[in-house]
């Protein structure tokens, strides 16, 4: 049975992927292409998104969209903002596209972002020509999606300063350097090595393991794990006012 779409409400997904090799924070975009009589009318990239179905929640739409694009479920997901300006889809290419797709002229989109590792996505069999782009070096992006990406990125930066979501991008056992590299990549800052290490290893929810790195050419570093249990207990008991 075909599901009924709500024509003026969509969900768009900013899929952030961390590339552990290049240490780059990337966004997954899909190709938008339209030609008529051999003339290229639209050729750029957009976020992946879809209309909300009559019988599904907004979260379900987001999960469905991500799964169709990447095959993944159960990733860290955050609904971060609704975009609904009357003129959000009003440039020339967007109007051509909307007409061709029979989209509603005024559509409100509920934007989500996801956080995962680029490694976890297999793009080879992807039917949308999806491709990773560094957040710092986006291609031409259609609709108001560049704005949505940048707002998602700002939200992510603030969030990873106050919540331990960064550990979702690390292996279960990690070195302090890996945590620092990740923060540096996401926040685009240099962090003082010694201060950071001291601060981090003093946290009760960062647990030193009886293990060191294996298979590295340099001196193997101590491995740590993050305990969500301990973090949650501390957060409940003892709010940290950090303004």
Binding site for a copy of itself (CB under 8 A): 6, 8-9, 52, 54-58, 79, 81-82, 84-86, 106, 108, 110, 157-158, 160-164, 166, 183, 187, 189, 191, 196, 199, 203, 239-243
Residue 167 CB, nearest approach to a copy of itself (Å): 9
Residue 152 CB, nearest approach to a copy of itself (Å): 14
When the beta carbons of 96 and 187 are compared against a copy of itself, the nearer one is 187
When the beta carbons of 133 and 196 are compared against a copy of itself, the nearer one is 196
Q: CA distances (Å), 147 to each of 141, 154, 198, in order?
A: 9, 11, 37
Residue 157 CB, nearest approach to a copy of itself (Å): 8
Cβ contact 166:200 at 8 Å:
no
Closest CA to 19 of 136, 113, 127: 136
Closest CA to 100 of 36, 46, 49: 36
Residue 43 CB, nearest approach to a copy of itself (Å): 29
When the beta carbons of 40 and 189 are compared against a copy of itself, the nearer one is 189
Strands (E) in the chain, as ranges, are 5-19, 24-36, 39-46, 48-53, 76-83, 108-117, 131-134, 206-212, 222-226
């Amino acid at each position: 049975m075909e599901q009924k779409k709500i024509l003026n409400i969509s969900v768009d997904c900013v899929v952030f992927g961390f590339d552990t090799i290049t240490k780059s924070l990337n966004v997954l975009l899909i190709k938008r292409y339209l030609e008529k009589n051999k003339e290229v009318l639209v050729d750029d990239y957009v976020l992946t998104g879809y209309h909300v179905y009559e019988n599904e929640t907004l979260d379900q739409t987001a999960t469905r969209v991500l799964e169709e694009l990447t095959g993944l479920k159960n990733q860290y997901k955050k609904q971060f903002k609704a975009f609904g300006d009357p003129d959000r889809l009003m440039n020339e290419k967007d109007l051509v596209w909307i007409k061709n797709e029979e989209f509603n002229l005024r559509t409100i989109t509920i934007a989500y972002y996801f956080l995962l590792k680029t490694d976890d996505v297999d793009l080879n069999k992807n039917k949308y020509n999806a491709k990773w782009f560094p957040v710092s070096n986006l291609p031409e992006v259609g609709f108001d999606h560049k704005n949505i990406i940048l707002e998602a990125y700002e939200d992510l930066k603030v969030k990873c300063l106050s919540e331990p979501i960064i550990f979702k991008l690390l292996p279960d056992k990690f070195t302090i350097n890996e945590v620092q590299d990740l923060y540096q990549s996401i926040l685009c800052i240099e962090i003082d090595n010694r201060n950071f290490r001291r601060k981090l290893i003093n946290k009760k929810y960062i647990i030193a393991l009886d293990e060191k790195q294996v298979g590295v050419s340099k001196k193997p570093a101590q491995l740590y794990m993050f305990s969500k249990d301990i973090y949650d207990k501390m957060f409940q008991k003892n709010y940290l006012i950090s303004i």
